[in-house]
Amino acid sequence: MQATKFLSAAAALAIVAAPVFAATTVKDVNVEIDLEAIGNPAAAEYWSSAADDLENAIVARVTDRIADEGATVNVDINELELANSFQTALNVAESKLAGKVNVSHDSDNTKFDSYELTVTFDDATLFMPEGADLTAIASDSKDYYSAMINAFADRVAKKLQE
């Protein structure tokens, strides 16, 4: 009788529980940014280490899924726009970091995912230090830069979990 109750409870729990999907294992992460294609010279200078920083931020989020037989993640950042706080306040410009993410799950590219990803400063506010004044943050500050990089990396890592 007890075993029947236990099995019935286990079956009910299995029906209610959401299916668990295996997160994508990762073998390699590569990020490229064409700084010459970025129209803002000040941004290109400030963001010169963005490819390495973004690559490191993605890897930091998938360290528990690193595997020799994992996927190769290639990110090509093709757009960086940085609005200053005055432009943002007037709604005449929005900061964004955009690019194409390609995920090859095998060596012959028979299983391949590709998608465009864009994060805005609104998305990045979740990664700002606690208590930061978002109305006064400058687009050339370290906190702003880190928030944009972390927002993009977070989205890539979450997509790899789907």
Copy the structure tokens of residue 125: 């506010």
Q: Where are the beta strands (DSSP E) in 34-105?
A: 71-81, 96-104
In a domain, 2, yes or no: no
In a domain, 131, yes or no: yes
Q: Name residue 82's amino acid.
A: L
Q: Per residue in 115-140, is it b (16+ CB within 10 Å) or e — as a string?
A: eeeebbbebbeebbeeeeeeeebebe
In a domain, 4, yes or no: no
CATH code of the domain containing 141 = 3.40.50
Prediction pTM value: 0.78
pLDDT per position as a tens digit, 121-159:
889 989 998 988 877 777 777 888 899 999 999 999 999
In a domain, 1, yes or no: no
| Number of domains into which the chain is organized | 1
- Answer for the pair 117, 152: CB distance below 8 angstroms, yes or no: yes
* Domain coverage including residue 32: 24-161
In a domain, 41, yes or no: yes
In a domain, 45, yes or no: yes
Print pLDDT tens along the chain (162 aa): 444 443 444 444 444 444 445 678 999 999 998 776 666 666 666 678 889 999 999 999 999 999 998 999 999 998 777 765 544 544 434 778 899 999 998 766 678 899 999 999 889 989 998 988 877 777 777 888 899 999 999 999 999 988
Distance CA 63, CA 161 (A): 13
